[in-house]
Structure 1
Amino acid sequence: MTTDPPTSTEKNRQKARDPFFDNAKYLAVVLVAAGHSWEPLLGGSRSTAALYMFVYTFHMPAFVLIAGYFSRHFTGRPDQLRRLITGLGVPYLVFEVLYIAFHRKVTGGDHPFSLLDPYYVTWFLIALFIWRLTSPLWRVVRWPVPVAVLIAVAASVQPHLGDDFNIARVFQFLPFFVLGLRLGPEHFARLRTPGVRAAAAVAAPAGLAVAYWAAPRYTNRWFYRTYSAQELGYEWWAGALMTPALTAAGLLLTAAFLAWVPSRRTWFTALGVGTVYGYLLHGFLAKFSRWRDWYAAEWVQGPAGPVAVTLIAAAVMTLLCTAPVRRTFRALVEPSMDWAFRTGPAAAPAAEPAGPAESAEPAGPAPRAAGGRR
């Protein structure tokens, strides 16, 4: 599969990209792959379970926060709506169908077909679609972040929201997106000051120590933010306490993570452009490895197993973010759909804001289990 060479405008946009955000997206999506690779091993190692809980505290909040930051200039212009449809809406439909077909083909099961129930990693596409549509609304709210936190708390104590579009998770991660809308470049620059980096160097191991203590005591399902407290077997007030606590912990560790992300160009900066490809494609391998019992291998179950699967997951994710993979799967992930939209003055795009402020690339997250909740 071939693609047209980049235009001068596209080349200028690539030069204008901030390497800090591409670095952050690549590192975070590698953590997504690592987290998925650890799941079958959680029962046999407290250390692996603690690392899993630690990573799941912040890797999805980091992605959602960055997505909010890149949605600051979304006002609902025709060109923005077209990109929303082609960059998120259509890929959601395409990969929802592909994942369900893949599930049925490999397992031989009759998995229910529903475009309303996001399959595994596809939930983030529809969540970002919803969040971005609401971006203009948050600009007129006087206290947007506190309101978003209240919505998240309400979702965590309401067991009857239903599974459509994984709406509970959409609400529970909302505070990070809204906070991202309120941030500017100066806030991210402040994270990279020596004092903040020193604090981050303390916060990260402290968070890991807390995760090691919490791993045998608390269920990982709190960190998926898909369930209400009642569905997890707790009283409603536990959700009212845990949601703000997890939001604060997620924000703290996200800041610590971003504080140590390189701001210069590195060997993996260019891979940050392709994180949406790695995110959507790696799920097929993650599912296939479980259905074919790859984790039953003796070397995987040994002491070095978690390290080995982590390295393999990182290598696979890196490969899936490369330019050849992007060229091969571009029609699925970034379809060209000019034929589907009106042309003319009414649909003409307005001037673009400076910088990559409209990036629709998701990055990773803590996806739900196939066909619904974990």
Structure 2
Amino acid sequence: MPSPRSPQDQQNKTTKPGKQRDAFFDNAKYLAIVLVAMGHSWEPLKGDSRILEAVYTVVYSFHMPAFIIISGYFSRSFDMRPDRLRRLVTGVLVPYVVFETAYSLFKRYGDHDPGMAISLLDPWYLTWFLVALFIWRLTTPLWNNLRWPLPVALGVAMFGSVSPEIGDDLDLQRVLQFLPYFVLGLCMKPEHFHMVRTRKMRILSVPVVAAALAFAWWAVPRMNTAWFYHRDAAQELAAPWWTGPVMVLAMFGCSLLLTACFFAWVPRRKMWFTALGAGTLYGYLLHGFLVKAGDFYGWFDHKWLHRPLGETLVTVAFAAAVTLLCTPPVRRVFRFAMEPEMKWAFKRDAAELAREREKRERAMANA
């Protein structure tokens, strides 16, 4: 998979092609997942805090779009080849089944909610992303063959925003309304990332983010934050139907602008947290249990946590927690659920068998 490195980086690269991960993307994934965890920790705290609500709104406008764009970028080569389909099942579908079941049981017994049923058709809390990623990747060959994939994806998202009849099955509203970001990632090339990774862009991003924070502070009492979740049609938010397509386009533009600012400040070199970028899906799915445990057991009810110092401590605590959940020891413990091999479930690919036979014959010839 080509990665957006400068010509000098390519000259300095000493490892074999395909063996080196691009530090920029691992850094971006780690920082995005930290922002996701911080945003979730703010939900029970923001209450009447207009400042925290404004920061929350700005973060929610770009953290998932950034993550989804990267997911789309690294899905560009996906096709229906058997080995890639196996990885899609074991790396996305199986974790969805496991964590949807685990979250449902956690809510039933942790929140004393006997009515909470285990339903794979109704994703609860964080698992919607796995459903969306599975559907998006399955449709990747279609988007790669369309002449104008991004306008079509935006049209699909706008259609979803005016269709409350879609319902909650598979959280299809989010699947459709976040689709343009995934398709944009499919369309992106290394040079597009070079455009935002410049000193000029880093400087320009400062007043842009400042203006976004000021606008968010102004909009807090005037705008429904639920628009940023992309899980409802306009009519379900008590808005005229025509505001759905308008908000899809407006928020797509705002999200791209802030995502570009985010990418501009992502370090390009290897950092202490770079290796954690490979485990961000672990951090994403596991930190939700901490957030919900705080809700179920009243951890966020202490009044001092709703003051600036308490909010800061909670933010730091959840940033540290999601960092820990991305580390190799945690990944080894939960690999059985996140990356099961499941060789027993699949037939051997003929091409794979041929490669193994060729390798054995070559080894015998060399011996």
Whether these two folds match at TM > 0.5 is yes
Is structure 2 residue 24 aligned with structure 1 residue 20? yes
What RMSD, in angstroms, separates the aligned Cα atoms of the two structures?
A: 1.6
Distance of aligned partners of 1:344 and 1:321 in 2 relative to their CA distance in 1, 3 Å threshold:
closer
Q: Secondary structure at the match of 1:236?
A: coil
**Which of the residues 94, 99, 102 maps onto 2:106?**
102
Distance in 2 (CA, whole Å) between partners of 1:349 and 1:272 is 34
Is structure 2 residue 59 aligned with structure 1 residue 55? yes
User: 1:4-153 counterparts in 2 under 5 A?
Assistant: 15-110=19-114, 111-153=116-158
The structural deviation recorded for 1:156 is 0.6
Which residue in 1 is equivalent to 2:171?
Answer: 166
What is the number of equivalent residue pairs in this alignment?
340
| Structure 2 residue runs without a partner (length 5+) | 1-14, 356-367
| Larger displacement relative to structure 2 (11-20 or 285-294) | 11-20
Q: Which amino acid is the alignment partner of residue 230 of structure 1?
A: Q
Structure 1 runs, 4 residues or longer, greater than 6 Å off: 11-14
Is structure 2 residue 292 aligned with structure 1 residue 283? no
| Larger displacement relative to structure 2 (172-181 or 191-200) | 191-200
CA shift digits 1:243-268 (9 cap, x unpaired) = 10001101110111001100100011
Any conservation in 1 of the 2:90–2:341 contact (CA below 8 Å)? yes
Distance in 1 (CA, whole Å) between partners of 2:237 and 2:46 is 19
Distance in 2 (CA, whole Å) between partners of 1:218 and 1:298 is 26
The structural deviation recorded for 1:349 is 9.7
| Structure 1 residue runs without a partner (length 5+) | 1-10, 351-374
Q: Secondary structure at the match of 1:16?
A: coil
Q: Which amino acid is the alignment partner of residue 263 of structure 1?
A: R
Which residue in 2 is equivalent to 1:210?
Answer: 215
User: 1:194-273 counterparts in 2 under 5 A?
Assistant: 194-273=199-278
Any conservation in 2 of the 1:271–1:318 contact (CA below 8 Å)? yes
CA shift digits 1:193-252 (9 cap, x unpaired) = 222222222211111111111111111100000001100000001112111000110111
Distance of aligned partners of 1:348 and 1:297 in 2 relative to their CA distance in 1, 3 Å threshold:
farther
CA shift digits 1:126-172 (9 cap, x unpaired) = 10000011111012211111111111111011111011110011000
The structural deviation recorded for 1:190 is 1.8
Q: Secondary structure at the match of 1:30?
A: helix
Q: Which amino acid is the alignment partner of residue 52 of structure 1?
A: Y
Distance in 1 (CA, whole Å) between partners of 2:126 and 2:354 is 31
Which residue in 2 is equivalent to 1:311?
Answer: 316
Larger Rg: 2
Relative to the length of structure 1, the TM-score reads 0.88
Identity %: 55
Q: Which amino acid is the alignment partner of residue 150 of structure 1?
A: G
The structural deviation recorded for 1:302 is 2.5
Distance of aligned partners of 1:347 and 1:156 in 2 relative to their CA distance in 1, 3 Å threshold:
farther
Which residue in 2 is equivalent to 1:4?
Answer: none
Q: Which amino acid is the alignment partner of residue 293 of structure 1?
A: G
Which residue in 2 is equivalent to 1:361?
Answer: none
Relative to the length of structure 2, the TM-score reads 0.90
Distance in 2 (CA, whole Å) between partners of 1:233 and 1:149 is 22
